[in-house]
Structure 1
Amino acid sequence: MAPQSASAVPRDLAPAASVALPPDLSVWLEQHADALDEGSLDAATVLPRLAAANLFRYGVPEAQGGLPGTDIGDAIEAVSQVAEQSVASAFVAWGQRVFIEYLLRSPNTALTAAWLAPLLAGEQAGATALSNAMKFLSGIESLQIGAREEGGHWVLDGRMPWVTNLRVQGFLVAAAVTAPDGTPAVVALPHDIAGLVRSQDLSLLALQSSNTAALEVQGVRIGPEWLIHSDARQYLPRARPAFAGLQCGLSIGLARRALRAANEAGKGQASRGILAKPLEALRTQVDELNASLIAGVRSDRFVVEPWALFEIRIALAEAANQAVQLELQASGGAAYLKPAGAGFARRWREAAFLPIVTPSLVQLKTELAKREARLAAEAAA
């Protein structure tokens, strides 16, 4: 059995309240949020900034370099607070912290011992290409990388079309592969291994300083030292709550920031009265969804009830989009003027990303619809 990470540390199920970004990081993110979104600031600057604030140490066992008394709920809150300032930076934080979680949950202790410290310090980037695997787990698509055996090694071929945090200064990427015996497995690949080819950064509508690119896997040879887990079907259901839970931090942070901006924009305006009620209702909804998310990830509820996590992920992404729309209504024409509306324009683009980040809302809703149909059929039988 894979060792448990600090995500499973017993704790009161109240929302995380012990996380506070250092003021210098908050100021830096606020000052450079537009540049990070547009790609005019070097993406290489993001990871060291976040690591210097100990962002990746939340929820990691103290004995392995983590912050004492913290768990996965605190890690989600940390990503959320970064997303309040910059979703591009939060996207990087999500990829790094999820990769760290993969190592914490891996039975390959030598791999964890070799790479955990540089990942926590931001000296090495961790990239998760397991979105394909999460969709495979739900029966949405097949794995995109296959392995054959040659001389005691696996030889991998395939492609990863969209991966974030592929820092050109060095990265490890987690990938799901079909093993030679047909079993889905999870492996780590270092950036400089022969046959792994990184594309140029993808031309994104937003979140451009996130080191997002494609990877070609062409005859990559690996030994057992790079195996995160030999059976993804056992491993991924337990890793999925952290994967999706940390991803939800993007929506939580953006919703909070847009609601705050809407409230500030509405002060002293006639529109404030008509918008006060929907703003307060949405703020309450986001708080309740956040509390349910953190409680569910802490208690391992989502391991056995993944559909409940899917519902929260959908609701939070939709809430973030609603919050940005309310910000627009509260700001009026000012939101459409440059440069005053630059922050709103960025949040609008950030909100457009949330429904499509894998697994997309359409994919999640499709899975929930299948479950409802199956339950209905069972009830009618």
Structure 2
Amino acid sequence: MTTTAHPLVTAARRLARELLLPQAERVDQEEVPASHVEALRRAGLLGVGAPREYGGADAPVAVARETAEILAGACCSTWFVQTQHHTPVKLIATYDSPVREKLLRPLATGGLMAGIAFAHVRAFPRVPVRAVAERGGWRFDGRVPWYTGWGLNDVMLLAGVTDAGKVVFVVADAREQPGLTPSAPMRLAALTAARTVSLELDGLWVPEESVVLRMGQEEFARVDLPRAANAGPAVFGVADAALELVARSPEGEETARVLRERLDAVRRESYELADHPVPHACVPQRLAVRTRAYDVMRAATTAAIVAGGGRAMALDSRAQRLAREGMFLLVQGQTAEARRAHLGSLAAG
């Protein structure tokens, strides 16, 4: 994306080159190993956006984006596991709660790894997970359809919705316990390696001091909308990696050049919109640019398959892995509004 000399960008490039990329096809067919998470911790990449006073790097958003692109382009499964971690870190750092002093430093330094269990809140008015005040804490019942990083994460940011329409976010241990039962690891078309399970909650109790924040369902949707309308860095990282493969083929140099120009243009526009000083501004434009980013990514991964020929059908083919990862990114973090915008664009041709 840039030639940024920030030490975390340098560390991400080294990690991608020496560890993630050489092992990516094997990891894709197995699972993200704990050693990958440890390598991210040692490199300081688990604290990229965390406050300095708690041991984080407090790096600029451009650095966070570039490191995310690098990691996703090298091994999307590893990127997906670690990207879950940054949301709890940001939320805990933003809101004053007892959790901040207890957990923010170990999370910022990578001593603890966190996951997220709240995407189901977007299903409102359905309430897949219900939260009820009980015995000086909160009881959670229902089903978390997707939870990534099981067996790698120490804690998770869990959310449920009260009968009054409030979303309650808590930190809970990411382990089987009374009231929490994980499914077997899911077999998926892409990113099976990211250790995704569903969680059955049947009276999981979490103490009040583990609450990070409460907000109304409508406020959650308002805060979530602009974030979900933007194209994520992983889209650009996977597209970049695919174009590197295309450029290496004898017939692909010109195709790679043209598609890279398109990719660079949509990346610039996407990040400019994401940095708009008014978070809720330009949502239709953000969605349109997000769709264009998907189009370029899909063209890049398709070109990598074409350039690879029959070899691309092998499960250990990098081109095929990138194409499947691109398919995953089409629905990752998807909202109903984003889905409508993308389908409308496809129908319009």
The aligned counterpart of 1:289 is 266
Query: Offset of 1:66 from its aligned partner?
Result: 2.2
The aligned counterpart of 1:198 is 182
Q: Give the Cα separation in 2 of the matches to 1:93 and 1:102.
A: 15
* Same amino acid, percent of matched pairs: 20
| SS in structure 2 of the partner of residue 332 of structure 1 | helix
Query: Offset of 1:206 from its aligned partner?
Result: 2.7
Query: Offset of 1:204 from its aligned partner?
Result: 1.8
| SS in structure 2 of the partner of residue 230 of structure 1 | strand
Query: Offset of 1:244 from its aligned partner?
Result: 6.9
Q: TM-score, normalised by structure 2?
A: 0.85
Distance change >3 Å, CA 163–CA 149, structure 1 → 2: same
1:29 alignment partner, one of 14, 20, 25 = 20
Distance change >3 Å, CA 314–CA 163, structure 1 → 2: farther
- The yes-or-no answer on 1:251 pairing with 2:226 is no
Q: Give the Cα separation in 2 of the matches to 1:99 and 1:153.
A: 20
| SS in structure 2 of the partner of residue 29 of structure 1 | helix
- The yes-or-no answer on 1:126 pairing with 2:114 is yes
- The yes-or-no answer on 1:280 pairing with 2:243 is no
Distance change >3 Å, CA 52–CA 87, structure 1 → 2: same
The aligned counterpart of 1:45 is 35
Any gaps of 5 or more consecutive residues in structure 2?
A: 345-349
The aligned counterpart of 1:226 is 210
Which of 87-96 and 178-187 deviates more? Answer: 178-187
Q: Give the Cα separation in 2 of the matches to 1:367 and 1:324.
A: 22
Distance change >3 Å, CA 359–CA 286, structure 1 → 2: same
CA displacement 1:1-49 (0-9 Å, x = unmatched): xxxxxxxxxxxxx97833232524431101110122111x553233212
Distance change >3 Å, CA 83–CA 288, structure 1 → 2: same
| SS in structure 1 of the partner of residue 38 of structure 2 | helix
The aligned counterpart of 1:326 is 303
The aligned counterpart of 2:347 is none
* C-alpha RMSD of matched pairs (Å): 2.9
8 Å Cα contact 2:47/2:107 also seen in 1: no
- The yes-or-no answer on 1:365 pairing with 2:339 is yes
The aligned counterpart of 2:128 is 144
Distance change >3 Å, CA 288–CA 32, structure 1 → 2: same
Query: Offset of 1:81 from its aligned partner?
Result: 0.4
Which of 87-96 and 224-233 deviates more? Answer: 224-233
Query: Offset of 1:306 from its aligned partner?
Result: 3.8
8 Å Cα contact 2:183/2:197 also seen in 1: yes
Q: Give the Cα separation in 2 of the matches to 1:101 and 1:309.
A: 22
CA displacement 1:168-200 (0-9 Å, x = unmatched): 254322233112433233232222453122222
Distance change >3 Å, CA 121–CA 228, structure 1 → 2: same
Any gaps of 5 or more consecutive residues in structure 1?
A: 1-13, 371-381
- The yes-or-no answer on 1:316 pairing with 2:293 is yes
8 Å Cα contact 1:16/1:77 also seen in 2: no
Query: Offset of 1:237 from its aligned partner?
Result: 4.0
8 Å Cα contact 1:105/1:239 also seen in 2: no
Which letter maps to 1:91?
F
Count of aligned residue pairs for this structure pair: 338
8 Å Cα contact 1:72/1:242 also seen in 2: no
| SS in structure 1 of the partner of residue 88 of structure 2 | helix
| SS in structure 2 of the partner of residue 200 of structure 1 | coil
Q: Which has the higher contact order (CA 8 A, sep 6+)?
A: 1
| SS in structure 1 of the partner of residue 249 of structure 2 | helix
CA displacement 1:250-306 (0-9 Å, x = unmatched): 21111001011101113xxxx34xx61x43332122222322333333344444444
8 Å Cα contact 2:183/2:199 also seen in 1: yes
CA displacement 1:58-78 (0-9 Å, x = unmatched): 23232232225x222321221
The aligned counterpart of 1:67 is 57
